[in-house]
Amino acid sequence: MNFNLYIEKIGYYTRTAIEGYGRLSIMLFHAFSSIRKFHLYIGQIVEQFIYIGRRSLPIVIITSVFIGLALGVQIGTQMSPLTPAWVEGGLILRSILLEMGPIIIGLILSGRVAAGIAAEIGTMKVTEQIDALRSFAIDPVEYLVMPRLIAAMFAVPALLVFADFFAILAGFISSYFTINLGWEGFLKGMYHNFYVSDVFTSLVKAFIFGIVIVIFGSYFGFNSNRGANGVGKATTLAVVWSSVDILMLDYVISAFLFFL
Amino acid sequence: MIKINNIYKSFGNFKVLQGVNLNVEENKILSVVGKSGTGKSVLLKSILGLITYDKGNIEIDGINTNGFSEAEFNKYIRHKMTLVFQNGALWDSMTVGANIDLALQIQKHLDVTEREKRIKESLEAVGLINIRNVYPNELSGGMLKRAAIARAIAMKPKYLLYDEPTTGLDPILSNIINNLIKKLNVEMGITSLIISHDIKGVESISDDVAMLYEGKIILTCKAKEMWEQNNQIFNNFIRGKIT
Ligand SMILES: Nc1ncnc2c1ncn2[C@@H]1O[C@H](COP(=O)(O)OP(=O)(O)OP(=O)(O)O)[C@@H](O)[C@H]1O
Ligand SMILES: [Mg+2]
């Protein structure tokens, strides 16, 4: 490829990305500012809480268990023989609270929830249901995004509590089988390495990832093109970009809270 | 009164409306006919602000909507004007009853008794009283259309825009809908702008008829006099003559 063309392409994508983030921020702001009308949408909020929260619970538990099991094996086998075994309890606890829990939740939900929202809103867009809302003076962001946003801000941290619990439990089981660490040792390790700030970090991440998932799903849904493959594309973009942004923000939040 | 003054609209390089002029008089029924793809739906959506037109202006009760924001359309226009979409555009995540209820609740803030009353009345008017708890995807095309009309008339707007309300309905249902449009116009004074291919229906209920052709309104006349026009394009069109 010609060098100039290459630069041009980079310029084009950068501009598109900046524009995209700009419009996405406007939508986010709009959704937040319509929260003051939440009392009109209690039904939708509850429905979305069930969809985002309860329906995601099985998959969240399954993935957390396997991540916990794998962590137990990896950490257990990599610790030097000179380190007392009970230390593993603390290592598992911290890696799950700080990184594994929020990341699992974020990625699983961007696959399940962001994709679902993009598909639903995208279909509404192409079948003129969004225009129908507007024609009745119903604000589509207020009606479709805000209830999902509120639901996610509660549901995702709640799911995280379950994810953390099951991952730690699985971590214990697998350390028991790999390095024969009993529950007293595991608890001792956890106790020595427990910081309230870790729990806080974990919940902050979940809260923010919840917002990211809803906003990316909605944004790509609203921008889907006419036709069924428009909706398919919107769904893919929502998953890809919410995942990328979750990983990016995960780093930013970790670094930020570390320097705080 | 709706005054459409010299409206232009293109999608990219594709010109759709090219200087549309049309007036919809108070308390009247105006029908617009025209070939498929000439921009009839685009015209209706422009009036409600769902599509922004490129040039010209539209005045509704003396208010010029050119350059209006979404919020201004909500505030000044959309509470007194409803559109029946060509494909119905019912919200498919909720039942027909909930479809009718939503705007009554969120836009009009009506109490439960009044909402109940309007849901029943409007479903009755379109002959669908027993599908209240049915989801849109379980309905036939004709039922969808009528449910969409029910949702629109429940708002009791001053203006109703109908995008092909009788297309896809059998002759008897078409009559029922046409009579309903007329009745709403006569009894409640609802000013109606109808897009229609149902020439007999147009003749029987409209006060005026207009034809959209190649991006312009090429003719407006009294419905009573529609068979005595001099415009060849219009004459051929309403007689279904292949040219
Ligand atoms: N959002 C849009 N983006 C791009 N093109 C559009 C859009 N909406 C309509 N068009 C184009 O504008 C033209 C007019 O469309 P419109 O739906 O108004 O036709 P119509 O007169 O209502 O036809 P019909 O009688 O078949 O409903 C069509 O060629 C259509 O492809
Ligand atoms: Mg049309």
B149-191 pLDDT per residue, tens: 999 999 999 999 999 999 888 898 899 899 989 999 998 899 9
The structure tokens listed for A127 are: 């079948």
pLDDT of the residue at B119:
96
pLDDT of residue B241: 87
Q: How far apart are CA B208 and CA B222, in angstroms?
A: 4
Residue A26 forms contact with B (CB below 8 Å): no
Distance from CA of A45 to the nearest CA of B (A): 14
CA dist A245 and B101 (Å) reads 38
| Cα diameter, chain B | 55
Expressed in angstroms and rounded, the spacing between residue A39 Cα and the centre of ligand 2 is: 37
Direct distance between the N- and C-terminal alpha carbons of chain B, in angstroms, rounded to an integer: 36
| Token pair recorded at residue B24 | 């919809």
Beta carbons of A104 and A68 less than 8 angstroms apart: no
Is residue B242 less than 8 Å (CB to CB) from chain A?
A: no
- pLDDT tens profile B186-225: 988 999 999 999 999 999 999 999 999 999 999 999 999 9
The stretch A166-190 carries a mean pLDDT of: 88
Are B78 and A136 within 8 A, CB to CB? yes
The pTM of this model reads 0.91
Of the ranges A32-36, A82-86, A135-139, B48-52, which one carries the lowest mean pLDDT score?
Answer: A82-86
Ligand nearest to the CA of B36: 1
Determine whether the interchain pair A131/B45 forms a contact, defined as Cβ–Cβ distance below 8 Å: yes
- Other beta carbons within 10 Å of A119: 19
Whole-number Å distance, alpha carbon B59 to ligand 1 midpoint, is: 23
Q: How far apart are CA A156 and CA A55, in angstroms?
A: 12
Ligand (nearest to CA of B214): 1
Say yes or no: A99 contacts chain B, CB-CB below 8 A.
Answer: no
Average pLDDT of the residues in A29-45 = 93
Identify the CA nearest to B186 among candidates B205, B164, B172, B199. Answer: B205
pLDDT at position A1: 60
Which residue type does A210 have? G
Q: Which of A86, A245, A258, A254 is nearest to A176 (CA)?
A: A86
Per the prediction, chain A carries an average pLDDT of 91
Q: Is A138 on the interface with B (CB under 8 A)?
A: yes
C-beta atoms of A138 and B93 within 8 A: no
Neighbours of A178 (CB within 10 A): 17
CA B202 to each of CA B30, B126, B194: distance values in angstroms, whole numbers, following the listed order: 9, 18, 8
Instruction: Please report the pLDDT score of residue B168 as a whole number.
Output: 84
Q: Assign residue B3 a region (left: φ > 0; alpha: ψ between -120 and 50; beta: otherwise).
A: beta
Nearest CA distance, A106 vs chain B (angstrom): 26
Q: Assess whether pLDDT exceeds 80 at residue A181.
A: yes
Helices (H), A56-181: 57-78, 87-95, 101-109, 115-126, 129-135, 140, 146-179
- For residue A127, give the nearest of B45, B89, B102 by CB distance: B89
Domain ranges of chain A: 2-259
Query: What CA–CA distance (Å, rounded) separates A121 from A118?
Result: 5
Distance CA B68, CA A90 (A): 60
- Please check whether residue B95 is in contact with residue B151, taking contact to mean a CB–CB distance below 8 angstroms: no
Q: Please tell me if the CB atom of residue B46 comes closer than 6 angstroms to any atom of ligand 1.
A: no
Half-sphere exposure of A133 (CA within 13 A, CB side): 19
Taking CA atoms, B221 is separated from A2, A210, B224, B228, in Å, by: 62, 58, 8, 10
Identify residue B14 by its one-letter amino acid code.
Answer: F
Q: Which residues of B138-163 are buried (b: 16+ CB within 10 A; e: fewer)?
A: ebeebbbbbbbbbbbbbbbbbbbbbb
pLDDT, position A160: 96
More confident call, B68 vs A79? B68
Residue of A nearest to B46 (CA): A135
**Predicted pLDDT at A228:** 67
Residues on chain B touching A137 (C-beta within 8 angstroms) = 73-74, 78-79, 103, 107
3-class secondary-structure state, position B194: strand
Contact B165, B145 (CB under 8 A): yes
The CB density around residue A11, as the number of other CB atoms within 10 Å, is 10
Number of other residues whose CB lies within 10 A of the CB of residue A149: 24
CA of B83 to the centre of ligand 2 (A): 12
Which is more confidently placed, A2 or A99?
A99
Tell me what the mean pLDDT of segment A58-82 comes to. 89
pLDDT of residue A227: 67
Contact between chains at B82 and A135 (C-beta distance less than 8 A): yes
| Chain B CB within 8 Å of residue A33 CB | no
Q: Does A27 touch chain B (CB under 8 A)?
A: no
Given ligand 1 and candidates B13, B18, B41, B52, which is best to mutate, with the most ligand atoms within 8 Å of its CB?
B41
User: Is the ipTM of this structure higher than 0.90?
Assistant: yes
A-B C-beta contacts closer than 8 Å = 55
What's the pLDDT at B114?
Answer: 95
Residue B242 has a CB neighbour count (10 Å cut-off) of 4
CA A78-A82-A87 angle, 5° bins? 65
Rounded average pLDDT over B125-137: 92
Query: Nearest CB to B91: which of A40, A132, A134?
Result: A132
Topology (CATH) of B2-91+161-239: Rossmann fold (3.40.50)
| Digit-coded pLDDT (tens) for A93-143 | 999 999 999 999 999 999 999 999 999 999 999 999 999 999 999 999 999
- Sign of the CA dihedral with B149 first, then B152, B155, and B156 last: negative
Range with the lowest mean pLDDT among A11-20, A110-119, A248-257? A11-20
DSSP character for B130?
G
pLDDT of B2 > 70? The answer is yes
* Ligand 1 contact via B36 beta carbon (within 6 Å): yes
Q: Quick one: pLDDT at residue A77?
A: 82
CB distance B201 to ligand 1 below 6 Å: no
Q: State the amino acid at position B43 in one-letter form.
A: L
Check residue A24 and give its pLDDT.
92
Across all residues in chain B, what is the average pLDDT?
Answer: 93
Strand partners, B32: B195, B210
**Between the CA atoms of B150, B154, B157 and B163, what dihedral angle is there, to the nearest 10 degrees?**
-10
Q: Among A73-82, A95-104, A159-168, A187-196, which is the least confidently predicted range? A: A73-82
How many whole angstroms from B11 Cα to the centroid of ligand 1? 9
Contact A172, A186 (CB under 8 A): yes
Going by pLDDT thresholds of 50, 70 and 90, the confidence category of residue A70 is very high
